[in-house]
Amino acid sequence: MKPEVLQLNPILIPSINEKLNARYLVHRLYEQRDRDAYIREHGRNIQAVITGGHTGISNALMDQLPALKVVAVNGVGTDAVDLAYARARGLPVTATFGALTEDVADLAIGLLIATCRGVCAGDRFIRDGMWPRHPQPSAIPLARRFSGMRVGIVGMGRVGRAIATRAAAFGCPVSYTDLRVMTDVPYAFVADLRTLASQSDALVLAAAADQAQGIVNADILDALGSQGFLINIARGKLVNELDLVEALRAGRIAGAGLDVFVDEPNVPVELLSMDNVSLQAHRASATVETRTAMGEMVLDSLEQALAGLRPEASLTT
């Protein structure tokens, strides 16, 4: 009999799904109408869970799976899993560190350029048939230059470093904040987030959200200032979204590029009409290349855990 696996989010790579189906009996919870009833029926047989970074798994669900041997997060953010709880249970929780670094960093820079250069607003201007009606150049406000912007990065992990490399290639002075100084990077460390924001033209969030809920609030946005841009490719909950909406509405910051939100898939309605905001639907790791690499890492973690080995990518065991 094939081991039984519970999958909480879809995987969009056919080759990964084929391998999953060949090796396991896969229960796709997201396809079930009555999920509680489904868990009551199948929970006792589940040996592995595959979930997304944003979805994670609740302690209550872990408790309903007595045969569980691994939670494989198809992502790098583990803020939606109680790691201490899993550790106490001796349960490996794995993540796909390294697989998505380049694509997430690419989108961070893409969102920053899109926002400061008004790429999305310009696209809408043409699609809405506005150019022939307003052919004079003054119909579109002048944009802001990205090259040379002072970029402040919050979180100098793998993704933060990849963003820094890219920003540096555009001639941007890079500084960062983190829980500690990183002695192996050439960028300026700023201990305090408010100071970093006040010294940056663009503040880019690339931090883990485990203990950093709401760190970007009205005070930090005011320090970033009316010429400053906020980019978030990490987690929505790093930002106080009400403060962000208000700062954008009042022109207290220049714009924002956002891939993540507090209550996905719900996006604050005020943002939808703002031309200085570029939006993405949590897509930073969503390329064929990265999702294939992530899926292979998930498959490895399942294989190792179900063979009784400690998964290489385990954070808890």
Binding site for ligand 8YV (CB under 6 A): 9, 52-54, 74-77, 100, 282, 285
141 contact partners, CB below 8 Å, separation of at least 6: 118
Instruction: Please give the DSSP secondary-structure letter assigned to residue 270.
Output: G
State the minimum distance, in angstroms, from the CB of residue 215 to ligand 8YV.
17
CB 201 → ligand 8YV: shortest distance, Å? 26
Least distance from ligand 8YV to the Cβ atom of residue 57, Å: 12
Least CB distance from residue 233 to ligand 8YV, whole Å? 9
Is the Cβ of residue 74 or residue 301 nearer to ligand 8YV in the bound state? 74
User: Strand pairing partners for 216?
Assistant: 239
Q: Compare residues 53 and 155 and give the one whose CB is closer to ligand 8YV.
A: 53
- Which CB sits closer to ligand 8YV, 13 or 140? 13
Beta carbon of residue 40, minimum distance to ligand 8YV (angstroms, whole number): 25
Cα three-residue angle 269-275-279, rounded to 5 degrees: 60
CB count, 10 Å around CB of 59? Answer: 12
**CA-to-CA separations, 131 to 128, 134, 142, 205, in angstroms, rounded:** 8, 5, 15, 35
**Which one is catalytic: 27, 166, 235, 291?**
235
CB of 135 to ligand 8YV, least distance (A): 41
Interatomic CA distance for residues 49 and 94, integer angstroms: 10
Q: From CA 78, how far away is CA 84, in angstroms rounded?
A: 11
Known active-site residue 235: yes
Please pick, among 87, 150, 264, 303, the residue that the annotation labels catalytic. 264
Distance CA 96, CA 11 (A): 14
In the chain, alpha helices (H): 14-23, 35-42, 59-63, 83-88, 101-116, 119-127, 130-133, 158-169, 193-198, 218-224, 241-249, 288-306
Q: Facing residues of 4 across strands?
A: 25, 46
282 has catalytic annotation: yes
CA trace torsion 87, 88, 91, 93 (10° rounding)? -20
Q: Which is nearer to ligand 8YV, 69 or 237 (CB)?
A: 237
Q: Which residues pair with 175 in a beta bridge?
A: 152, 188
Would you call 150 a catalytic residue per the annotation? no
Cβ(46)–Cβ(302) under 8 Å? no
Q: Which is nearer to ligand 8YV, 11 or 244 (CB)?
A: 11
Find the catalytic residue in 27, 158, 161, 282. 282
Active site residues: 235, 264, 282
